[in-house]
Structure 1
Amino acid sequence: MRVFVMMTCVLALAACGGRSGVRGVDGPIAQACLAADRSAASPALCSCVQRVANAELSSRDRSRVASFFDDPEVAHATKISDTRANDAFWDRYRSFISQARNTCG
C-alpha cells in the first residue's frame, strides 16, 4: 500500500523540479513540483501537471495534492484513511495521476 502511494507521488515528483519562481509556472502543484528539485523535471513539465490538475481537480484538491510534495506521509495517511471524503478524494487523485501520466509523461 505504501509503495503504491509513494509511486503515485514519485510520478509527480520525478516529473518536476528545478527553481521556484520560474516565469509562466503558476499554481500550487507547479510551484511544489519546482520546489521538489527533481533532476528529471522541467518548468514545462511542471506546468503541464498543473494544467491537468486545473482541469481535473478543485482548487481545494489542488492545494491538498501540493501538500503531498512536502510530506508524502500525508498522501499515505489519506490513502489508508477510512472516510468517505478521503476515499472520494483519493479516487479523484488517482484519476488526476492517470491523466497527468497520459498528458505530460
Structure 2
Amino acid sequence: MKHVLRSLLIACVFFPATAQTVAAGPIERACLSSPRQGANWRLCGCIQRVADQTLTHADQRMAAKFFSDPHRAQEVRQSSNIRHEEFWTRYKEFGATAAAACS
C-alpha cells in the first residue's frame, strides 16, 4: 500500500476537476484523476485530509503539479532555494503521515 501511495503522490497525472471532484482539494483531484490502481474516493479523501493538516494551500497546489510533471518534484527536492527546501521538509512529513494514516 505504501508503494501505491508513494506512486499516487509522485507519479500521478493531474487532470482538471470533474463534476464529482469540484469540491475536492488539489491533492484529492490529482489522486482521483490518477490511472493508478488503488486510487479511490476513500484513499484520495484520506490523503487530502492529511494534506489539509500538514500543507498550506500553496504547498498543495505545488505538490499537485508533481502529478503531471514528476520531474518537477526532483527539481524542487534538489533545489538550493530556501523556499523549496522548506516546502520539501513539509512535503516529506505529509507523505510519511499520509502513508501511516491512509494505508
Counterpart amino acid of residue 78 in structure 1: V
TM-score with structure 1 setting the length: 0.79
Q: Distance in 2 between matches of 1:98 and 1:37?
A: 22
Q: Any idea what the Cα deviations from partners look like across 1:2-59, whole Å, max 9, x if unmatched?
A: xxxxx985153689xxx95436961110001111221222111001000000010100
Q: Contact 1:25 / 1:43 at 8 angstroms: preserved in 2? A: no
2:96 aligned with 1:98: yes
Runs of 4+ in 1 over 2 A off after TM superposition: 11-15, 19-25
Residue in structure 1 matching 2:7, options 3, 10, 27: 10
Kindly indicate whether structure 1 or structure 2 has the higher relative contact order, using CA contacts under 8 Å at least 6 residues apart. 2
Question: 1:86 is matched with which residue?
Answer: 84
Question: 1:4 is matched with which residue?
Answer: none
Question: 1:53 is matched with which residue?
Answer: 51
Identity of aligned residues (%): 34
Indicate how the Cα distance of structure 1 residues 42 and 102 shifts in structure 2: closer, same or farther if over 3 A, else same: same
Indicate how the Cα distance of structure 1 residues 23 and 36 shifts in structure 2: closer, same or farther if over 3 A, else same: closer
Structure 2 unmatched runs, 5+ = none
Indicate how the Cα distance of structure 1 residues 14 and 86 shifts in structure 2: closer, same or farther if over 3 A, else same: closer
Structure 1 unmatched runs, 5+ = 1-6
Superposed, which structure 2 residues align to 1:13-32 within 5 Å? 20-22=18-20, 26-32=24-30
TM-score with structure 2 setting the length: 0.80
| Corresponding pairs, count | 96
CA RMSD of aligned residues (A): 2.6
